Structure 1
Amino acid sequence: MRTTEHAHDRDDHSDPTLYRTPADAVAAPPEKLAYVVGFDPTAHRADALFTVGTDPESPEYGRVTSHAELPGLGNELHHFGWNACSSALAHVGHHHAARRYLIVPGLRSSRLHVFDTSPDPARPHLVRVVEPEELAAKAGYSRPHTLHCGPDGVFLSCLGGANGADGPGGVALLDHESFEVLRAWESDRGPQWFAYDVWWHLRQNIAVTSEWGTPSMIEDGLVPELLLGRQYGHSLHFWELDSGRHVQRVDLGDENQMVLELRPAHDPEATWGFANTVVNVEDLSASVWLWNREGEDFVVRKVITISAEPAQPEDLPPALQPFGAVPPLISDIDLSVDDQWLYVSAWGTGELLQYDVSDPFHPGQTASVRLGGIVGRQPHPAEPDIPLTGGAQMVELSRDGRRVYLTNSLYAAWDAQFYPAGIDPWMVKLDADTSHGGLSVDSRFFPHGPDFLGLRVHQTRLQGGDASSDSYCYRR
């Protein structure tokens, strides 16, 4: 890992959205735009990148202001990210680092789409497509899922292998500026086979990866036999960030299926973070886990459990009727930039929960809001008579921690299993109390349905960065 303590003094780092410390990010001006990806689950229409106004003083607040369609069909846009973030202040690899390009993977197509937000951030335009053949030939991977800007390149987590191979999944490195695929990041993967998320503790030279499943295990929906057979991912992996060498696997127990999102502390001196598991096959609960370093090794412990909720079988989709309960299905978590608040999306029940994690070993719930849900279908206050489809799913948090954005689709094949009546797209904003805790739904902000051309919406990114896009290099 090529880093330098003095890289932040270089003249070429002039982008004000590359923040020296977490406190600088919190104090920066609020976002005026959000970027959201939408996809057509039938693959009959083009997927798109949407821009949404987030300035409450603007007449475009809460409105979709533009969209850019992708070439080709069947991409299934999922997670996406910036070419540059605050980590650029302490590593080389950028000549003119700027948070300018959005790299948007197609999870089903394995294509990478590069959008330029300059000269008009409200109207990104497509400038490059990296074809799946390049990803396969140069890195040995397919099904790109999550990406983060980091040392030596953009880290791109991928679920599948090349040329039809179901695995192993892993991490590809892309050039920060040309977006060419450089190579696979791993030098020694040890026992790691499944992939999902990748993050790190930059100053400690530690990377962390999580596990979902290979393409055959997810692309046609959740496979009950694999779930009950405890065959999905259930471990965290720790690595040397610079070398890509695997150093430790921690198994969370094979009853805890699908270890997904990674949210390391933003404090660059810290070595702890949160991960979530989707479902416990013994009681249908879901959980959040804390990793932290003790000596040379990492220890992982469960710190939050959310129980399943009883329900009448006739109110449930066929996949859940034998169980007579709604599993929470934690599908996303987000940690505020000041490391004080954790947000947990329970897609099954439609609940977004807020926790005070000022003591990360002992989180305390401070608020919750329900929107949608398999059984409850809680409405939005802007349309209180219309039950929402889908549930609180992807969550993104502003840098100052005061605004929480939610969307409602997980993955097309899984949407169909848990919400078989269909999912009408929506995006909501909640206002968060960052003093004592609390959440309230903003009734003015509710783009939905035809606003997104009927495409299902997944991840959100915020102009200038957000709580899950940056790693910081300096404490002060």
Structure 2
Amino acid sequence: MVNVQRGLLLGAALMAPAMADETCMSPYMAKIVGQEDVLYVWTLGVEGIGDGEDKLVTVDVNPDSDRFGQVIHQVSVGGRNEAHHSGFTDDRRYLWASGLDSSKIFIFDVHSDPAKPRLHKVIEDFVKASGGVVGPHTNYALPGRMMLTGLSNDRDHGGQTGMVEYSNQGDYVATHWMPKEGALNGANKTGQFADGYGYDVRVLPRRNAMFTSSFTGWNNYMMGLGKMMADPEAMKQFGNTVVVWDLHTRQPKTILDVPGAPLELRCAWGAQNNYCFTTTALTSKLWLIYEQDGKWQAQAVADIGDASKIPLPVDISISADDNHLWVNTWNDGLTRLFDISDPFAPKQVLSEKIGGQVNMVSQSWDGERLYYSSSLLANWDKTEGEDLQYVKGYRWDGKALEQTFSLDFHQAELGSPHQMRMGAFALYGQRPDSPSGSPTVSR
């Protein structure tokens, strides 16, 4: 077993006891210090519910506000695009939110009035500009750039795809194709697979490393879940790799076998903790991607529930001190907490039912608050049962979760909530109507 040393958190700002924000954010982004004011929820439109359109919903999450736990704003984008993931630019002035089905990218201005974001720009030529990438997934901030992973391609709508780089202004910069058999692009294939699939992206700048995971293509994620799982050929069309890239040159360096469809990547924050975690959707395992003697390796380190019951791990969130990892399992609606103080031997220490299904989790950097949302994909979401489409807030005292609010998005005629991002008024100057005790900001 490699000796993974504990390290100091990145930068003096990360040592501040009042640090809030989300632990999954890019290290290049401006950070929220103190209590977040709002939660931006990228929400799928549902036919027959409200206007039926995808929308960005703003929820007040400052407990000092008289609007705490309430929807204070919404802006629809026109039509249904399979609203999925979103991410801020490094200066945090704009929120990019993408549609898996339409491949449109909606850029929201969140700095002019952070309580009332407005639609600033729509990128409609993503597929053409990128040379055939389909289904923008992760929107990830780099210095002056946004890196978007794709889920598919326009040739066969399978899983082979690439990453697409844009300027913060929304101008196309470059396409970086995932390495695959016959086109490794200089990458070292270390195991059985070189599938060219894509899903999530994260970076460790101090190691000049960028990581991508893999999932499946448009054909599968637009198919009903039951139909897909009953189709042997469809079930073969899932990724089995994590790729390590040179962050500066954007060149793939190492292809690691991570069988079972690796999803979200979360990298450690400690200055000497050179590792990231991911989960596999089909095999329900927690994997460690780690560096040893200058080489990157992958190892399954824990089971997540009973794989035979198909819990379907989805979103994960690492704590700022690298000691804990929250893991959501969509199918049983559970959130699970793992002690990862020894990253090679994670131990589950808690599980709690959040709803009839659960997808995303956003954890504040001080570890005291968690937010959960429910929707996975329009064609995969459950349609029968209780407590299916919600956003919920919780306090965490290190021992137990205490619910602070719950919003039923279908009852409110908003749609199905997918990803959440935290916002703060003081990032852009104090708002006159914001509550007292608003946060300050550090870089």
Question: Which TM-score applies when normalising by structure 2?
Answer: 0.81
Counterpart Cα distance in 1 of 2:313 and 2:410:
27
Does the aligned pair in 2 maintain the 1:76–1:106 contact within 8 Å? Answer: yes
The Cα shift of 1:274 comes to: 0.5
C-alpha distance 199-464 of structure 1, shift in aligned 2 (>3 A): farther
Counterpart Cα distance in 2 of 1:115 and 1:53:
18
**Residue 412 of structure 2 corresponds to residue 456 of structure 1:** no
The Cα shift of 1:268 comes to: 4.4
Counterpart Cα distance in 1 of 2:179 and 2:115:
42
C-alpha distance 148-464 of structure 1, shift in aligned 2 (>3 A): farther
The Cα shift of 1:55 comes to: 1.0
Does the aligned pair in 1 maintain the 2:179–2:252 contact within 8 Å? Answer: yes
Q: Which amino acid aligns with 2:160?
A: P
**Residue 385 of structure 2 corresponds to residue 428 of structure 1:** no
The Cα shift of 1:41 comes to: 3.9
User: 2:401: which partner in 1?
Assistant: 440
Does the aligned pair in 2 maintain the 1:188–1:244 contact within 8 Å? Answer: no
Q: How does 1:90-105 map to 2 (within 5 A)?
A: 98-105=91-98
C-alpha distance 134-110 of structure 1, shift in aligned 2 (>3 A): closer
Counterpart Cα distance in 2 of 1:186 and 1:343:
31
**Residue 352 of structure 2 corresponds to residue 391 of structure 1:** no
Alignment identity in percent?
Answer: 28
Structure 1, unpaired ranges of 5+ = 1-17, 85-97, 281-285, 310-324, 373-389, 466-475
Counterpart Cα distance in 1 of 2:246 and 2:16:
28
Counterpart Cα distance in 1 of 2:364 and 2:305:
28
The Cα shift of 1:20 comes to: 6.2
Q: Which amino acid aligns with 1:50?
A: V
User: 2:89: which partner in 1?
Assistant: 83
C-alpha distance 420-59 of structure 1, shift in aligned 2 (>3 A): same
Q: How does 1:460-475 map to 2 (within 5 A)?
A: 460-464=420-424
**Residue 282 of structure 2 corresponds to residue 279 of structure 1:** yes
User: 2:112: which partner in 1?
Assistant: 119
C-alpha distance 25-332 of structure 1, shift in aligned 2 (>3 A): farther
**When you count strand as a share of all residues, which structure comes out higher?**
2
Q: Which amino acid aligns with 1:47?
A: D
Q: How does 1:72-471 map to 2 (within 5 A)?
A: 73-84=79-90, 98-131=91-124, 133-151=125-143, 153-162=145-154, 166=158, 168-176=160-168, 178-186=169-177, 190=184, 191-222=194-225, 223-224=228-229, 225-226=231-232, 230-253=236-259, 257-280=260-283, 286-308=284-306, 326-372=309-355, 390-416=356-382, 419-420=383-384, 424-433=388-397, 437-442=398-403, 444-450=404-410, 452-464=412-424
C-alpha distance 142-228 of structure 1, shift in aligned 2 (>3 A): closer
Counterpart Cα distance in 2 of 1:228 and 1:220:
9
Moved over 6 A (4+): none
Does the aligned pair in 1 maintain the 2:159–2:237 contact within 8 Å? Answer: no
Structure 1 window deviating more from structure 2 (185-194 vs 204-213): it is: 185-194
Q: 2:69 aligns with which of 62, 75, 89?
A: 62
Q: Which amino acid aligns with 1:308?
A: D
User: 1:34: which partner in 2?
Assistant: 39
Does the aligned pair in 2 maintain the 1:159–1:215 contact within 8 Å? Answer: yes
Counterpart Cα distance in 1 of 2:126 and 2:348:
46
Counterpart Cα distance in 2 of 1:306 and 1:54:
30
The Cα shift of 1:228 comes to: 8.2
Question: Which TM-score applies when normalising by structure 1?
Answer: 0.75
Counterpart Cα distance in 1 of 2:94 and 2:145:
14
The Cα shift of 1:235 comes to: 1.6
The Cα shift of 1:65 comes to: 0.9
Counterpart Cα distance in 2 of 1:64 and 1:193:
40
Q: How does 1:6-45 map to 2 (within 5 A)?
A: 21-24=13-16, 27=19, 28-42=33-47, 45=52
Counterpart Cα distance in 2 of 1:57 and 1:276:
36
* SS of 1:415 mapped into structure 2: coil
Counterpart Cα distance in 1 of 2:156 and 2:424:
37
Q: CA RMSD in A?
A: 2.7
Counterpart Cα distance in 2 of 1:81 and 1:25:
25
The Cα shift of 1:367 comes to: 2.0
Counterpart Cα distance in 1 of 2:299 and 2:249:
27
Does the aligned pair in 2 maintain the 1:260–1:275 contact within 8 Å? Answer: yes
Counterpart Cα distance in 2 of 1:288 and 1:188:
24
C-alpha distance 462-248 of structure 1, shift in aligned 2 (>3 A): same
* SS of 1:193 mapped into structure 2: coil
Does the aligned pair in 1 maintain the 2:88–2:141 contact within 8 Å? Answer: yes
Q: Which amino acid aligns with 2:297?
A: V
* SS of 1:409 mapped into structure 2: coil
Structure 2, unpaired ranges of 5+ = 1-9, 20-32, 185-193, 426-442
Higher relative contact order structure (alpha carbons within 8 Å, sequence separation ≥ 6): 2
C-alpha distance 297-42 of structure 1, shift in aligned 2 (>3 A): farther
Counterpart Cα distance in 2 of 1:67 and 1:399:
26
C-alpha distance 211-138 of structure 1, shift in aligned 2 (>3 A): closer
The Cα shift of 1:26 comes to: 5.4
Structure 1 window deviating more from structure 2 (345-354 vs 355-364): it is: 355-364
C-alpha distance 218-139 of structure 1, shift in aligned 2 (>3 A): same
C-alpha distance 403-110 of structure 1, shift in aligned 2 (>3 A): same
Counterpart Cα distance in 1 of 2:39 and 2:11:
19
* SS of 1:267 mapped into structure 2: coil
Counterpart Cα distance in 2 of 1:369 and 1:423:
14
User: 2:190: which partner in 1?
Assistant: none
Q: Which amino acid aligns with 1:142?
A: V
